[in-house]
Amino acid sequence: MYKTIIHLLALVLVFTVLPAQAEQSIKLGAIFAKSGAAAISNQDHLNGLRFAVKEINTNGGVLGRPIKLMEFDNHSTQIGAKMAAQKAVNDGVVAVIGNSWSSHSLAAGPVLQAAGIVMISPDSTQVDVTAIGPYIFRSCFTDPFQGRVLARFAAVDLHAKSTAIMADVKSAYSIGLANYFKKNFIQRGGKIVTEQQYTHDQRDFSTQLEAIKSLHPDVIFVPGHDETVFIARQAQKMGIEAIFLSGDGMDYSSAQKKGLAMIKRGFFTTHWSRNNPSEASRRFVSAIKRAGNIRLSSSVALTYDSVYLIKNAIERAGSINPKAIRDALAQTHDYKGVTGIFNFDAQGDPIKSAVLMEIKDGKLLFRKELRP
């Protein structure tokens, strides 16, 4: 009888302690695509997210408490992103990492802003995302920023006086980045000799390139995606000697590796390179390689940084109160992340460098950081 009572008391103690331990965990939300068109590209984000949370918990958690990662599928749609955000709020998360696609962030952001919950997107570069409100942040640079620093690089480092621009007429990203580059290059005294348009599904760009060739520009700026490789290769075959420039869309190009060996010289911006010499980046690369089964990419690195920025904000706030987290995150000062040194402006955009990659005789090289 005595043993039975002791056993029952032990069971009561176990079931009392377990809920208490669960309550001590910090609920971190994550909204990404696990299904639909964005699911493949969002897998890197999920890998970076899970790796960061596991690493933090292994090392004692945050404020001595483990992170409970709560993942929500946005189903690659705007309505799915909005519903996922509402579910995250209902489930009591203290902050959200996500979304990736700007359209998804624009849908989820207002819900989280209204609830007073921080959302930090790893790579939604569209300008309007952080304009939603003071609880919305991003860890990537914006299109206006990369347009500005690319124009500066062309004018100052390459001593370019003239540029030809080729933009995808069906891509808001391509048109927007082309305009940001154009504005800043002209402000630096440069001349835009021609603006050619194309569509993403083209593979013959001879008409546009013939027009460019006759004008002999110093630089050709093509803010595209997969097609940028084909344009650069075709330009070389036509004897165009202008230096090729592109934006971060080039980094996500599925054709990049296949076509790289054919490109003699060019440059493009990206958010991170495994060849970045910073201490934080080297540690990250080593840790990911030890873990195995995780692809090293900008998406993994940006999502990893996003998790650690929230951790850093909670620790500085000494609290998991959502407003305290927001205030601490906004006051981030010189945080040394994998993808750069972080400070945030008044709109929640990071004041940080872009990475400039150089293509030289078919090899991809880390060239420099393009500072704000």
Closest-CA residue to 247 (of 156, 148, 316): 148
CA angle at 83 for the pair 79 and 86, rounded to the nearest 5° = 145
Secondary structure letter of residue 276 according to DSSP: -
pLDDT digits (tens, 9 = 90+) for 66-85: 999 999 999 999 999 999 99
Residue 254, C-beta contacts closer than 8 angstroms, at least 6 positions apart = 226
- pLDDT band, very low/low/confident/very high, at 15 (cuts 50, 70, 90): very low
Distance, in Å, from the CA atom of 250 to the CA atom of 221, rounded to the nearest integer, reads 12
Locate tokens 């407003």: which residue? 323
Instruction: State how far the alpha carbon of 113 is from the alpha carbons of 14, 81, 96, in Å.
Output: 39, 14, 11
CA angle at 22 for the pair 20 and 24, rounded to the nearest 5° = 75
Question: Does residue 19 register a pLDDT over 70?
Answer: no
Q: Which of 138-142, 169-173, 211-215, 268-272 has the lowest average pLDDT?
A: 169-173
Secondary structure letter of residue 347 according to DSSP: T
Token pair listed for 56: 């933090």
Question: Does residue 279 register a pLDDT over 50?
Answer: yes
- What does the pLDDT read at residue 154? 99
Distance, in Å, from the CA atom of 158 to the CA atom of 160, rounded to the nearest integer, reads 5
Question: Does residue 319 register a pLDDT over 50?
Answer: yes
For 76-90, the DSSP string reads: TSHHHHHHHHHHHHH
Distance, in Å, from the CA atom of 106 to the CA atom of 139, rounded to the nearest integer, reads 15
CB 96 within 8 A of CB 120: yes
Domain 8-140+277-352, CATH homologous superfamily name and number: Response regulator (3.40.50.2300)
Which amino acid is residue 105, in one-letter code?
Answer: S
CB 325 within 8 A of CB 118: yes
Distance, in Å, from the CA atom of 228 to the CA atom of 225, rounded to the nearest integer, reads 6
Distance, in Å, from the CA atom of 202 to the CA atom of 13, rounded to the nearest integer, reads 68
Q: Which of 150-154, 255-259, 325-329 has the lowest average pLDDT?
A: 255-259
Question: Does residue 21 register a pLDDT over 60?
Answer: no
The pLDDT of 300-310, averaged and rounded, is: 98
Question: Does residue 63 register a pLDDT over 60?
Answer: yes
Share of the chain above pLDDT 70, in %: 91
The pLDDT of 121-141, averaged and rounded, is: 95
Question: Does residue 372 register a pLDDT over 70?
Answer: yes
Reported in sequence order, the residue ranges of 59-154 that DSSP labels E, i.e. its strands, are 67-73, 95-98, 118-121, 136-138
Judge if the upstream peptide bond of residue 99 is cis by omega within 30 degrees of 0. yes
Question: Does residue 12 register a pLDDT over 90?
Answer: no
CB 30 within 8 A of CB 98: yes
pLDDT digits (tens, 9 = 90+) for 178-236: 999 999 999 999 999 999 999 988 889 999 999 999 999 999 999 988 788 889 999 99
The pLDDT of 282-306, averaged and rounded, is: 95
CB 221 within 8 A of CB 245: yes
pLDDT digits (tens, 9 = 90+) for 324-347: 999 999 999 999 999 999 999 999
- What does the pLDDT read at residue 264? 85
Instruction: State how far the alpha carbon of 225 is from the alpha carbons of 154, 222, 348, 353, in Å.
Output: 20, 9, 26, 21
- What does the pLDDT read at residue 256? 57
- pLDDT band, very low/low/confident/very high, at 17 (cuts 50, 70, 90): very low
- What does the pLDDT read at residue 248? 87
Q: For the chain, what is the mean pLDDT?
A: 91
- What does the pLDDT read at residue 276? 84
The pLDDT of 40-57, averaged and rounded, is: 96
CATH of domain 144-270: 3.40.50.2300
- pLDDT band, very low/low/confident/very high, at 171 (cuts 50, 70, 90): confident
- What does the pLDDT read at residue 23? 52
Q: Name the segment(s) of the chain with CATH classification 3.40.50.2300.
A: 8-140+277-352, 144-270
